[in-house]
């Protein structure tokens, strides 16, 4: 995958960048369901030639810090709130396979298939001080996640550096709380969830069930709308800005007839690529995610909304013809979270792309 060196006026890029706050003016990231917000397109450069590309991205997110609003909060402070669950940790590993096809310089089609490995532990809603390990309940889930298919059109300008995207997220991952097949969940010490509809119990053979939002799939069919713009801003620097809006249009009921609707989500990224050496490209991204609260009988409606921003330094290296690898570290610089949520101190991503 290559990126054109373009000379469209910088003021156009700055204008689009100024529009980013407009995308964020809807509602607010449920860190129980957060994924990597890194822009892999920004990391690798947008396609400007025809052919196929295959990519693999590995992201690690360790949510081990309790936060509320814009600051941290101690487990003891959460425990003091009547009926409030005291979560301990959620470890997420996302391995995403991507397959892209560009028929020409105008069109690109991409299919993304994630594999998710997640573990979650909590002290539950009946935790007592001091919090001890014997109060912890835990569960894990692993398997295919929800697939995405996105079509991009960038034929508006002769330079092919302005594009629009339309896509769909399909409910291909395991979904449904205790009434679904939880064979991938590890037996723990009671329930692992906030909503009673998704609880296991000590009386149910000691089984532990993850919240619906923490399963590998969420049972929702979503539409995805987005756009992007990129250009050279000097002899050695390229810049980009992109945004996507994802919202649920159809939800599955679980086997007990309970529903779950994930909150609408907006992702906006912008960044710079230093291309003095086209084989080794240092980069810096800013990634912003804004998510409204989940809804439905299986949803945690009070602790699943927020806005987060990451500063993401990284490096892309061309290791051989048509093959690139990259690595990024996402460092949170801002969060505004509703309720009480587990939040990562950093997110790490590595990936590769081969164009043929």
Q: To the nearest whole percent, how much of the chain has pLDDT over 70? A: 78
pLDDT at 105 over 60: yes
Which pLDDT score is estimated for 227?
95
pLDDT at 193 over 80: no
Which pLDDT score is estimated for 49?
75
CATH number for the region 10-355 comes to 2.40.128.130
Contact (Cβ atoms closer than 8 angstroms) between residue 209 and residue 139: yes
pLDDT at 203 over 90: no
Which pLDDT score is estimated for 176?
65
Which pLDDT score is estimated for 202?
28
pLDDT at 207 over 50: no
Minimum mean pLDDT range among 79-83, 141-145, 189-193: 189-193
Which residue stretches of 105-151 are H helix? none
| pLDDT mean over 248-273 | 90
pLDDT at 27 over 60: no
Which pLDDT score is estimated for 47?
60
Which pLDDT score is estimated for 197?
32
pLDDT at 235 over 70: yes
Could you report how far apart the first and last alpha carbons of the chain are, in Å?
Answer: 9
Range from 80-84, 188-192, 220-224, 318-322 that averages highest in pLDDT: 220-224
| pLDDT mean over 8-33 | 37
Q: Is the dihedral of CA 64, 68, 69, 73 positive or negative?
A: negative
Which pLDDT score is estimated for 201?
28
pLDDT at 200 over 80: no
Long-range contacts of 269-272 (CB under 8 A, 24+ apart): 269/37, 269/38, 269/39, 269/42, 269/240, 269/241, 269/242, 269/243, 270/17, 270/20, 270/42, 270/239, 270/240, 270/241, 270/242, 271/39, 271/42, 271/239, 271/240, 271/312, 272/233, 272/237, 272/238, 272/239
* Structural element, H or E, at residue 237: strand 237-251
* Structural element, H or E, at residue 325: strand 323-355
Task: Give dist(CA 129, CA 222) in Å, integer.
Answer: 42
| pLDDT mean over 117-141 | 90
pLDDT at 198 over 80: no
Contact (Cβ atoms closer than 8 angstroms) between residue 240 and residue 274: no
Task: Give dist(CA 229, CA 16) in Å, integer.
Answer: 8
pLDDT at 25 over 50: no
Which pLDDT score is estimated for 284?
95
Minimum mean pLDDT range among 12-21, 35-44, 229-238: 12-21
pLDDT class of 20 with cuts at 50, 70, 90: very low
Residue with tokens 């009386």: 203
Which pLDDT score is estimated for 246?
97
Which pLDDT score is estimated for 337?
95
pLDDT at 5 over 60: no
Which pLDDT score is estimated for 183?
39
pLDDT at 80 over 80: yes
What rounded mean pLDDT belongs to the chain? 81
pLDDT at 317 over 70: yes
Which pLDDT score is estimated for 44?
63
pLDDT class of 22 with cuts at 50, 70, 90: very low
| pLDDT mean over 101-122 | 94
Task: Name the residue with higher pLDDT: 169 or 197.
Answer: 169
Contact (Cβ atoms closer than 8 angstroms) between residue 294 and residue 54: no
């Amino acid at each position: 995958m290559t990126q054109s060196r373009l000379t469209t006026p910088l003021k156009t890029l700055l204008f689009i960048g100024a529009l980013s706050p407009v995308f964020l003016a809807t509602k607010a990231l449920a860190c129980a369901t957060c994924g990597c917000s890194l822009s892999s397109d920004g990391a690798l450069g947008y396609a400007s030639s025809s052919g196929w590309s295959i990519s693999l991205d590995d992201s690690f997110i360790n949510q081990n810090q309790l936060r509320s609003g814009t600051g941290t909060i101690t487990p003891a402070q959460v425990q003091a709130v009547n009926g409030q669950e005291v979560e301990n940790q959620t470890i997420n590993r996302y391995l995403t396979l991507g397959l892209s096809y560009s028929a020409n310089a105008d069109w690109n089609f991409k299919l993304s298939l994630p594999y998710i490995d997640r573990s979650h532990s909590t002290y539950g809603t009946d935790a007592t001080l001091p919090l001890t390990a014997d109060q912890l309940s835990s569960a894990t889930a692993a398997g295919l996640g929800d697939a995405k298919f996105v079509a991009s059109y960038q034929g508006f300008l002769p330079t092919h550096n302005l594009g629009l995207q339309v896509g769909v997220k399909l409910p291909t991952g395991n979904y449904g709380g205790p009434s679904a097949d939880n064979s991938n969940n590890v037996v723990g010490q009671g329930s692992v969830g906030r909503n009673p509809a998704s609880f296991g119990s000590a009386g149910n053979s000691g089984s532990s069930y993850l919240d619906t939002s923490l399963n590998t799939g969420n049972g929702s069919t979503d539409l995805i709308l987005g756009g992007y713009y990129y250009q050279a801003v000097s002899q050695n620097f390229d810049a980009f800005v992109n945004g996507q809006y994802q919202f649920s249009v159809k939800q599955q009921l679980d086997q007990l007839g309970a529903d779950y609707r994930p909150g609408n989500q907006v992702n906006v990224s912008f960044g710079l690529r230093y291309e003095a050496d086209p084989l080794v490209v240092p980069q810096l991204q800013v990634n912003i995610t804004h998510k409204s609260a989940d809804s439905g009988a299986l949803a945690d409606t009070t602790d699943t909304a927020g806005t987060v921003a990451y500063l993401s330094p990284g490096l892309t290296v061309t290791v051989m013809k048509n093959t690139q690898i990259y690595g990024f570290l996402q460092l949170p610089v801002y969060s505004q979270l509703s309720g009480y949520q587990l939040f990562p101190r950093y997110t790490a991503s590595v990936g590769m792309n081969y164009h043929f």
